[in-house]
């Protein structure tokens, strides 16, 4: 499972992949199974993406391949020990930077994904387990820590797959002919517009008329307006982070019937420069 020669066997990425990621876990088979399907599987078979899966237990010192131990100071649960993890990393020598998945890490988002998705790049992901990982791993072995959100998973595997998939699909060639990541949510600090497919009338629910019009200019303006509207309604923090709305965007929203005046009582839409309003507090999702 680990230690494949550069280039790997057929189906594990070509000799010059656009992205190489090594994943270290006590459950490498879980990571490998997911990564062999869909976008990640196709990208590996096309040689664009090279993934290597390593078992942290190769660093264990005993015949039972133990990697955890009781916490100093007492308390519930076990801790992934420093010795097996350091030994595994030293044997594997995975590409750096090496990131530990951790709820205490830097929040992973689309900006971090873009940073990691530079073509020709390589990095590695180390999955924690148990109550956590001995602090010396974070302090003296890895190059950084990544969190996928303010919640606690049982292990780093799902978090690593989240990071891997979000990064990989930004690398040119990974998505093939599928939609361009530049047009997706967060690409320009906004949520994406809604999508529709056939039938135009589903149980009385109609597709917006503009999408059936064949007028590409109108469709493009509608999509932009919907993207702005959704972001204002659902994630006003994103609007604030990009400095509010430009006057063209305000105009576009007004043209599409968005009630900016009504909304501005809550202050969601228009930047302080444009209207003098403050931005709203982030609202809870329904």
Ligand X SMILES: C[S@@+](CC[C@H](N)C(=O)[O-])C[C@H]1O[C@@H](n2cnc3c(N)ncnc32)[C@H](O)[C@@H]1O
CB of 145 to ligand X, least distance (A): 8
CB of 160 to ligand X, least distance (A): 8
Q: How far apart are CA 154 and CA 130, in angstroms?
A: 7
By C-beta, is 168 or 228 nearer to ligand X? 168
Q: What angle do CA 159, 98, 102 make, to 5 degrees?
A: 35
> First and final CA of the chain: distance in angstroms?
44
Whether residue 53 contacts residue 25, with contact meaning beta carbons closer than 8 Å, is answered with yes
By C-beta, is 28 or 132 nearer to ligand X? 132
Cβ neighbors of 48 (< 8 A, separation 6 or more) are 13, 14, 17, 18, 19, 171, 173, 174
Q: Residues in the site for ligand X, rule: CB under 6 A?
A: 101-104, 127-129, 131-133, 147-149, 151-156, 159
Instruction: Classify residue 7 by burial, with Cβ atoms within 10 Å: 0-12, 13-18, 19+.
Output: middle
By C-beta, is 108 or 222 nearer to ligand X? 108
Q: How far apart are CA 15 and CA 50, in angstroms?
A: 9
CB of 33 to ligand X, least distance (A): 19
By C-beta, is 131 or 266 nearer to ligand X? 131
CB of 264 to ligand X, least distance (A): 36
By C-beta, is 7 or 155 nearer to ligand X? 155
CB of 112 to ligand X, least distance (A): 12
CB of 280 to ligand X, least distance (A): 27
By C-beta, is 63 or 152 nearer to ligand X? 152
Per-residue burial over 205-244, b = 16 or more CB atoms within 10 Å of its CB, e = otherwise: eeeeebbeeeeeeebeebbbbbbbbbbbeebbebbbeeeb
């Amino acid at each position: 499972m680990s230690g494949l020669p550069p280039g790997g066997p057929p189906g594990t990425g070509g000799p010059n992949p656009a992205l190489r990621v090594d994943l270290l876990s006590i459950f490498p088979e879980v990571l490998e199974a997911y990564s062999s399907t869909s976008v990640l599987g196709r990208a590996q078979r096309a040689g664009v993406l090279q993934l290597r899966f390593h078992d942290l237990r190769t660093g264990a010192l005993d015949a039972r391949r133990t990697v955890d131990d009781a916490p100093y100071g007492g308390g519930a649960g076990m801790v992934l020990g420093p010795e097996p993890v350091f030994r595994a990393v030293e044997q594997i020598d995975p590409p750096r930077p090496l990131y530990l998945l951790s709820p205490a890490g830097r929040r992973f988002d689309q900006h971090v994904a873009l940073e990691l998705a530079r073509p020709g790049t390589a990095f590695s992901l180390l999955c924690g387990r148990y109550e956590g990982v001995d602090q010396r791993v974070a302090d003296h072995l890895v190059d950084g820590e990544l969190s996928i959100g303010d919640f606690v998973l049982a292990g780093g595997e799902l978090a690593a797959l989240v990071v891997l998939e979000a990064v990989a699909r930004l690398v040119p060639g990974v998505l093939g002919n599928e939609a361009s990541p530049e047009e997706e949510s967060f690409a320009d600090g906004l949520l994406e517009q809604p999508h529709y497919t056939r039938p135009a009338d589903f149980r009385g629910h109609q597709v917006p008329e503009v999408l059936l019009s064949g007028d590409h200019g109108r469709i493009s303006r509608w999509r932009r307006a919907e993207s702005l509207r959704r972001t204002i309604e659902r994630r006003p923090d994103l609007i604030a982070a990009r400095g509010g709305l430009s006057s063209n965007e305000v105009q576009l929203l007004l043209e599409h019937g968005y009630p900016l005046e009504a909304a501005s009582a809550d202050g969601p839409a228009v930047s302080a420069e444009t209207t003098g309003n403050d931005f709203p507090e982030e609202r809870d999702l329904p």
